[in-house]
Structure 1
């Protein structure tokens, strides 16, 4: 088991008298794992896209902690400009979050859309589509809560890679909630009566491997000449994290 400092610790806190749930975390451990992953697989994203992907991983991690443990959630954001797909997915039981960008052959939508799929073992997947107006994942999570969760939420990007999600509960203090800003949310633990409900931990980890990638190419076994086109190896990317793997003809013949 990896030492706890390799994980981002996420706290779920109930704000008494305000009837709000606050979820907060410092994301340096996840971001460190993410950049090590990019270096290992020689991946590089434009700065603006990279920053948005990190934000999206952060807000999904907070949302996962606000949800039941059994859920695995995947979000895909399909944007018009820049024409890009953001993909992030995570699981509380797996203690992991991962994600990647798609910048090639991206279908242009008529508007920015956020797709959410929630998986629970033994149940049919639940899918939600939310229209988002901006290119900021902080805004996306707030729109998602309003449209899908049917309750308001506010998300804040604070200093030192800290993020906070505040989600309203039944009979919440509407005036207090409406007045929340980055300065006041950073002081909630000092100024409000709070109760720590639970702590979860996450790391950047996809769990993919060459052994898991090979079965996805099994349909090409009878068409290897067409697949390899005279090359000794082909390069395959993991659809979840973008990791690059080299696959030879022999690997597919033996798979």
Structure 2
């Protein structure tokens, strides 16, 4: 069993400047980014990876993942008034900070020029994918989403290079998502990703990234922060598409009102 990442930080912060810096990020609820750590602690990214490997982790990525899924104050132990409201508001604020409107503008141009849009997601993110499909459908776009991953793979295999993939994965490493994405890329489709602000396989393959809030607590099983962040991103994306030509989209919305 892996040792506690947070306990390691607390116990060793006085012996390594980098650990004290990371602990400061955690206490200030700021994003943990290897590029930022390397720059501010005057070390290389490879040195950071080697350091955490030498202390029992597979590298910085695993250490960060475990750290973000731990907590010294779990929800429910010290109940604060309006805690739920604050969590939601903080998640949206962090998502806004992570994404410039330029990211949305690039994503919208890709979507508008697409022949068909394939949405890829698994597990808990299926709810986000369904909501995104519904919103794009109502705006008149041809979209495809299939909860069955084999079925999604078949649909993408019949796609063309004029089509677009929208992939949703918090970690950016979800095996089923990456498999479908790689198929789409082989068919020269462009890729828009909704994922956390981190170095990942999905990020490296993407043409445009919409970043989710990336400080999920140990209540990862609830996925509150990441899910709020994802829903905010797709709602903002749909609103920005609508605002580019509201008269055109008003007609479509009226026609498909049930």
User: One fold, TM greater than 0.5?
Assistant: no
TM-score, normalised with respect to structure 2 = 0.27
Q: Which has the higher helix share?
A: 2
Q: Which has the higher strand share?
A: 1
